[in-house]
Chain A
Amino acid sequence: MNMKKYIGYRLISSFFVLLGLSLFIFTFSRLVPGDPARLALGPMAPQWAVDKLREQLHLNEPIYMQYFYWLSNLIRGNMGQSLVTRRGVFSDIVEFFPATFEMVIFSVIISSTLAIVLGVTSGKYANSWWDNLVRVTSYVGIAIPSFVWAIVSVFLFGYILRWFPTLGRVSTGIALPPKVTGLLLVDSLLAGRLNVFVDGLWHMMLPGSALVLGRLSQEARITRASVVENLNKDYIMAATSFGIPERTITMKYLLKPSLIPTIAIMGMDIAGSMGGSFIIELIFNWPGIGRYGMSAMLSNDINAVVGVVMLIGIFFAFMNIIVDLITAYLDPRIITKMKGT
């Protein structure tokens, strides 16, 4: 099997899985007890208004019809209307996505770099004091749920030490730079507004660190294990026996095979951070997809819930394919060993 066939297979496979996901989440959301229309309009609204809304949302029709309507709308890019914000779900998502994306990318860059550095150094100098320190810290880091870290960091860095702000994306009263990418940090740099850049960065520290913590520990552990395993491999001994300088061995011959598991998990982590962001954005009032999705879920905003879940599903599938491709590129054994060769 070559690359092209592999990509094709993955795309088709993902399509069906996502279809299945949409069916599952859609059905589930419609079977919820309680009347979404009533919930949206509130207890004071007159019954005729509620009934009218129900008509509009096709809520009285059989499930498969509702699904059909939804699917045909989806193809046209219409994800329905949010019962809370009264706008199209799709435009809501487009508006809120960049904030989450920015924070996820920011935290991934930090956590990956740190994870590789920590993992490689602790693996190479296994059982040294540094290694033990890193390992113990990772153990603890993995055990801390993101909301716990969020609370603790708000308490410690927000109140006691007062280093970082605790809510929102920018301080109130700051004029935002013109929207080019939707990413605040990038836009503010492009517009030359350094004070906004710093303000935005500062606001990202606490929520970002909550995202970083769990990921960093896990990635560092995996990298370390991989490094330790590869250090004992014959090819490293062989490289030494040919007189290849140690620096080259570490940076080239050890690093590449060791990073393969790390990259795999990094891809999962990027997508997983989208999930973790739900809680974190809620706590820090960060205007992203997570907060939007979270409030949609808590207020039974069925269209929004389905929209957000589907978006994340698509993103996740996309990340998985990319990670698999990168891994296959890095490790030639994978494609060679696949069936169909």
Chain B
Amino acid sequence: MDDMIVDIRDLHVNFSIYEGVLRVLNGVNFRVGRGEKIALIGEAGCGKTTTVKSIMRILPIPPAEIVSGEVFVEGRDVLKMSTQELQNMRRKTVSMIFQDPTAALNPVFKVGNQIGDIIKYSQTRSGEKIQKEEIREKTIQVLKEVAMPDPERIMKNYPIQLSGGMRQRICIAMALVSATKLLIADEPGTNLDVTIQDQVLRLIGGLVRKRKTSVILISHALGAVKGLVDRVYVMYAGNMVEAAKTEDLFSNPLHPYTKALFNAVPKLTGGGIPEGIGGRIPNYLDPPKGCRFHPRCDHAMPKCRRKAPPLYDMGVGHEVACYLYGGE
């Protein structure tokens, strides 16, 4: 467990809404090693963001509820941490780049001010004071790291005055300041132009290589993350269904869902426009019992309906949650 930055075990999370209780996370198991770069892929709404927000414990707790499970960050269970320990983790260890950079930036404060505050709390030991000049220096420095032109001027701007790509880079800068061990990037650049998105992903890739931090990169674009990560987790409807090293996953997908996903991507080499995956994502108010994919699965067996399969280890770091590959 010591060389794991993140170790999530059997996490169950519910969300209460008007109509009832959404059983969003259904026993998630997820591990990130030190220095490892992980991609977390899955359809919209499958629980990726909820999972990572649980790592930082920033789920809004009245609607959300962490029912059971453990979330270890550097060996300590986040769910049992005191406020002080949580804050330390957020300031020093883990940070997140949010999906929508415009929403993640406070519109009425200057950008430099917001970055400065994070520096003030993250880069000092508790009780230690830091000078305004030093904060300014560090702000400019981190802005240069994210390839911001003219940092001194940008610092004095409000978010509304910057372009979408710039706002995304400010968010990255903020995350860089606030974390040394793990960076979580929630679909970075999705709201932006494809070319800008590419730039953003390259930027993140470069920074991560330079600083040797671990990364969790959330995406629903398979191809985009291929070159950036060591391992990939595939998620479906609140469960991890497959995990493998990148090349392994792409050359040898095992889980029926993963296979169907890859088949659904149109290929330049021909074959026409493929059909999508039949069926629909489950209703979280009343999800299918057992394996949540079984209603859409061509290989469904009776035992799939009874109990969800655990992740079976196929060796070489390849895991699958499917009775086709293990079980009694």
User: In the complex where A241-B95, A333-B160 touch, is A235 in contact with B121 (Cβ < 8 A)?
Assistant: no
Contact of A235 among B90, B105, B158, B160 (CB under 8 A): B105
A-contact bits for B105-124, CB 8 A (1 contact / 0 none)? 11111000000011001100
Q: Is B15 an interface residue (CB 8 A)?
A: no
Residues from chain A with a CB closer than 8 A to the CB of B1 are none
B-contact bits for A239-255, CB 8 A (1 contact / 0 none)? 11111110010001100
Spot the interface stretch: B25-33, B96-104, B146-154, B234-242.
B96-104
Q: Give chain B's interface secondary structure class.
A: helix
The answer to whether A238 and B108 have CB atoms under 8 Å apart is no
A289 to B109, CA, bound (A): 41
The answer to whether A241 and B108 have CB atoms under 8 Å apart is no
A332 to B90, CA, bound (A): 29
Residues from chain A with a CB closer than 8 A to the CB of B161 are 332, 336
Q: Is A109 an interface residue (CB 8 A)?
A: no
Residues from chain A with a CB closer than 8 A to the CB of B91 are 242-243
Instruction: Kindly provide the distance from the CB of A291 to the nearest chain B CB, expressed in whole angstroms.
Output: 42
A89 to B271, CA, bound (A): 91
With an 8 Å Cβ cutoff, the count of chain A residues facing the other chain is: 25
Residues from chain B with a CB closer than 8 A to the CB of A105 are none
Q: Is B191 an interface residue (CB 8 A)?
A: no
Q: Is A61 an interface residue (CB 8 A)?
A: no
Shortest Cβ distance from A230 into B: residue: B106
The answer to whether B58 and A336 have CB atoms under 8 Å apart is no
User: In the complex where A242-B91, A243-B122, A332-B161 touch, is A234 in contact with B104 (Cβ < 8 A)?
Assistant: yes
Residues from chain A with a CB closer than 8 A to the CB of B60 are 232, 237
The answer to whether A233 and B103 have CB atoms under 8 Å apart is yes
Residues from chain A with a CB closer than 8 A to the CB of B174 are 238, 242
Instruction: Kindly provide the distance from the CB of B88 to the nearest chain A CB, expressed in whole angstroms.
Output: 7
The answer to whether A241 and B100 have CB atoms under 8 Å apart is no
Q: Is A256 an interface residue (CB 8 A)?
A: yes
Q: Is A330 an interface residue (CB 8 A)?
A: yes
Residues from chain B with a CB closer than 8 A to the CB of A237 are 58, 60, 98
Shortest Cβ distance from A257 into B: residue: B108
The answer to whether B158 and A332 have CB atoms under 8 Å apart is yes
Q: Is B178 an interface residue (CB 8 A)?
A: yes
Shortest Cβ distance from A231 into B: residue: B60
With an 8 Å Cβ cutoff, the count of chain B residues facing the other chain is: 32
Q: Is A331 an interface residue (CB 8 A)?
A: yes
The answer to whether A244 and B118 have CB atoms under 8 Å apart is yes
Instruction: Kindly provide the distance from the CB of A261 to the nearest chain B CB, expressed in whole angstroms.
Output: 13
A304 to B104, CA, bound (A): 55
Shortest Cβ distance from B157 into A: residue: A332
The answer to whether A253 and B106 have CB atoms under 8 Å apart is yes
Contact of A256 among B103, B108, B171, B175 (CB under 8 A): B108
The answer to whether A241 and B96 have CB atoms under 8 Å apart is yes
User: In the complex where A241-B56, A242-B174 touch, is A257 in contact with B106 (Cβ < 8 A)?
Assistant: yes
The answer to whether B107 and A242 have CB atoms under 8 Å apart is no
A229 to B253, CA, bound (A): 44
User: In the complex where A234-B98, A238-B98, A332-B158 touch, is A243 in contact with B117 (Cβ < 8 A)?
Assistant: no
Q: Is B252 an interface residue (CB 8 A)?
A: no
Shortest Cβ distance from B177 into A: residue: A242
Most chain A beta-carbon neighbours within 10 Å: one of B105, B108, B109: B108
The answer to whether A333 and B90 have CB atoms under 8 Å apart is no
Q: Is B87 an interface residue (CB 8 A)?
A: yes
Shortest Cβ distance from B90 into A: residue: A243
Residues from chain A with a CB closer than 8 A to the CB of B92 are 243
Contact of B100 among A234, A240, A244, A252 (CB under 8 A): A234
A260 to B90, CA, bound (A): 30
Instruction: Point out residues on B near A: beta carbons under 8 Å.
Output: 56, 58, 60, 87-92, 95-96, 98, 100, 103-109, 117-118, 121-122, 158, 160-161, 171, 174-175, 177-178
12 contacts between A and B (CB under 8 A): A233-B103, A235-B103, A238-B171, A243-B122, A243-B178, A244-B117, A245-B87, A257-B107, A330-B108, A331-B107, A336-B158, A336-B160
* 5 nearest CB pairs, A to B: A243-B91, A243-B90, A234-B103, A332-B158, A238-B104
- Taking A235-B104, A244-B121, A257-B106 as given, write out 13 further A-B residue pairs in contact, using a Cβ cutoff of 8 Å, ordered by the A residue number: A235-B107, A238-B96, A239-B106, A240-B90, A242-B95, A242-B177, A243-B88, A243-B118, A245-B121, A253-B109, A331-B107, A333-B107, A336-B161
